[in-house]
């Protein structure tokens, strides 16, 4: 039988796509070309040595498990690396993908197969495989004001699971701020020094398993399985909103585990009190332990995160590029990482040094879901330089006229250039509320209509922002 390598690779790609984020997929897998299948070896072509090394370092488990699923565990993958622009390939690298990686989980994915989670063998296997991504550790979770409490509570729980008063530990915060990373780091840390049954599960997966259990009439076994866990990490509990039956069973499991001194760790995208439609008695349980939030990283933390990621990849980038990126991307860490990955890939693909120009180009072409090329911090910095006042003054309570005007202009541009909500903008200006922001935007556009000198000032600032951002 002739196996069509294009066809095989296409289904591998589909499989990969279902398991990782779109950006990672577009950057690292789309450019790969299948070359041939020879016996039990699939050869693919990658654009550069760096590309190959990056794949090996970051995606080896994913590739192995996809290959297992699509072709079987005895298949090997070989890479061919393109030299310069010609079509000659150098000798393919033979890559030893570990054979024991059965399934890939990026932490958020639902790819683990739970068809029969209740049979004893599976439970035993689960003890070995707590569904944790080993890359999520405390060592590579950068500490900053934005996450200090959550991180140190996490560390305390990791050292003495079930024993501290942080039980349950509830972490909340918006997307991409590190909730999954942190709770998995707790799990990994516990596994290092305790013989405990640690289990990470997304709330969605939990709900789906429960649904299956209802269908297959084995709810009892479903809950028995969870009752054996020593450390239960449940990610994104907001998913339980409005799902009363799921909440009910979780409530039962929660109480049992808690009474038996087992540790429960949960995350949510908002504070428990805002979890509409989550049973009150469940929410009240969250109060037994500690609730801590993760906030948007400040400028210094963003700098530290960029440096750490670059260091981990062994890449040097100039200080001004680091600062530019930290200023421009103030949404969340996931966005920041996305841009870094694209930047590295761009540099590798077109064989160019990473400099400010390349960083700007990359940022300009980046996925749309990043709020904007200009972040609030960047606007504040530009305005403070323009009016020669400090950023603190833009945020504090000063009512001096020049400062009020500068502040209003900054809010005006924050509304204009970013997709942040009025509330978030207000938060960035010393916790002012949304009506203050509306008022500022209105005032600036009114002044522009009536005062040509004022309008000129605003246009000058606009030019500066554009100049710097594009
Ligand atoms: P959330 O679960 O809150 O949506 P994640 O935990 O998935 O966010 O984090 C998104 C990405 O950002 C991950 O790759 C994570 O490793 C990284 N990240 C988040 N916070 C930090 C941090 N403080 N230091 C290093 N990396 C971080
Ligand atoms: Mg998450």
Residue 168: cis peptide before it, omega within 30 degrees of 0 = yes
In this prediction, residue 119 carries a pLDDT of 53
Apex 206 CA angle, 192 and 277, nearest 5: 120
Angstrom distance (rounded) from CA 458 to CA 382: 12
- CA 227, CA 235: separation in Å to the nearest integer? 17
Q: What is the DSSP letter of 290?
A: E
Strands 93-95 and 76-81: antiparallel
User: Are 89 and 80 contacting, i.e. CB atoms less than 8 angstroms apart?
Assistant: yes
Q: Which ligand 1 atom is nearest residue 236's CA?
A: 2
Per-residue confidence (pLDDT) for residue 47, from 0 to 100 = 78
> Average pLDDT over the chain, rounded to whole?
84
Which of 437, 464, 461, 466 is CA-nearest to residue 448? Answer: 461
Q: Using CA positions, which residue lies closest to atom 14 of ligand 1? A: 334
Q: How far, in Å, is the centroid of ligand 1 from the Cα of 188?
A: 15
Q: What is the reported pLDDT for 463?
A: 80
Check whether 182 has a pLDDT greater than 90. yes
DSSP annotation of 82: B
Q: Which tokens is 156 given? A: 């305390």
Q: CA–CA distance from 393 to each of 145, 210, 377, 400, 414 (Å)?
A: 20, 53, 14, 10, 16
pTM exceeds 0.75: no
- At 3-37, the pLDDT tens digits run 688 888 999 999 898 888 777 888 889 889 888 88
Residues with CB under 6 A from ligand 1: 140-142, 147, 173, 175-181, 305, 333-334, 337
Give the ligand 1 atom nearest the CA of 182.
Answer: 6
Q: Which helix (H) or strand (E) holds 46?
A: strand 41-46
Please name the residue that has the structure tokens 């594009």.
470
Percentage of the chain exceeding pLDDT 90? 49
Q: What is the pLDDT of residue 137?
A: 96
């Amino acid at each position: 039988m002739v196996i069509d390598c294009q066809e095989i690779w296409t289904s591998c790609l589909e499989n990969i796509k279902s398991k990782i984020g779109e950006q990672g997929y577009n950057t690292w897998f789309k450019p790969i070309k299948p070359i041939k299948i020879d016996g039990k070896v699939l050869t693919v072509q990658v654009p550069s040595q760096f590309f190959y090394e990056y794949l090996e370092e970051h995606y080896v488990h994913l590739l192995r498990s996809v290959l297992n699923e699509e072709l079987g565990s005895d298949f090997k993958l070989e890479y061919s690396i393109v030299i310069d622009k010609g079509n000659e390939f150098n000798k393919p690298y033979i890559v030893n993908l570990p054979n024991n990686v059965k399934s890939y989980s990026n932490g958020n994915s639902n790819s683990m197969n739970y068809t029969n989670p209740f049979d004893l063998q599976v439970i035993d296997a689960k003890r070995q495989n707590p569904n944790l991504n080993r890359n999520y550790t405390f060592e590579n979770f950068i500490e900053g004001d934005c996450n200090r409490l959550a991180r140190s509570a996490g560390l305390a729980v990791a050292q003495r699971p079930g024993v501290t008063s942080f039980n349950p530990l509830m972490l909340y915060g918006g997307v991409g701020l590190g909730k999954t990373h942190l709770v998995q780091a707790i799990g990994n840390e516990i596994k290092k020094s305790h013989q405990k049954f640690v289990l990470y599960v997304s709330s969605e997966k939990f709900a789906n398993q429960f649904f299956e259990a209802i269908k297959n009439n084995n709810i009892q076994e479903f809950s028995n399985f969870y009752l054996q866990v020593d450390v239960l990490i449940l990610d994104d509990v907001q998913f339980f909103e409005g799902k009363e039956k799921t909440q009910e069973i979780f409530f039962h499991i929660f109480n049992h585990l808690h009474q038996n001194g087992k540790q429960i760790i949960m995350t949510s995208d908002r504070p428990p009190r805002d979890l509409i439609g989550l049973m009150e008695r469940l929410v009240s349980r969250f109060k037994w332990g500690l609730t801590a939030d993760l906030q948007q990283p400040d400028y210094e933390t963003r700098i530290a995160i960029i440096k750490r990621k670059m260091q981990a990849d062994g890449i040097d980038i100039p200080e001004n590029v680091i600062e530019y990126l930290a200023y421009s991307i103030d949404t969340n860490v996931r966005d920041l990482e996305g841009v870094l990955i694209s930047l590295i890939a761009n540099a590798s693909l077109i064989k160019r040094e990473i400099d400010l120009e390349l960083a700007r180009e990359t940022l300009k072409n980046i996925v749309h879901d990043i709020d904007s090329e200009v972040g609030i911090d960047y606007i504040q910095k530009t305005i403070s330089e323009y009016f020669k006042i400090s950023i603190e003054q833009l945020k504090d309570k000063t009512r001096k006229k020049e400062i009020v005007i500068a502040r209003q202009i900054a809010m005006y541009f924050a509304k204009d250039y970013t997709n942040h909500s009025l509330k978030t903008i207000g938060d960035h200006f010393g916790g002012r509320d949304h009506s203050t922001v509306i008022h500022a935007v209105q005032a600036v556009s009114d002044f522009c209509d009536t005062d040509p000198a004022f309008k000129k000032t605003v246009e000058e600032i606009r030019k500066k922002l554009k100049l710097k951002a594009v």
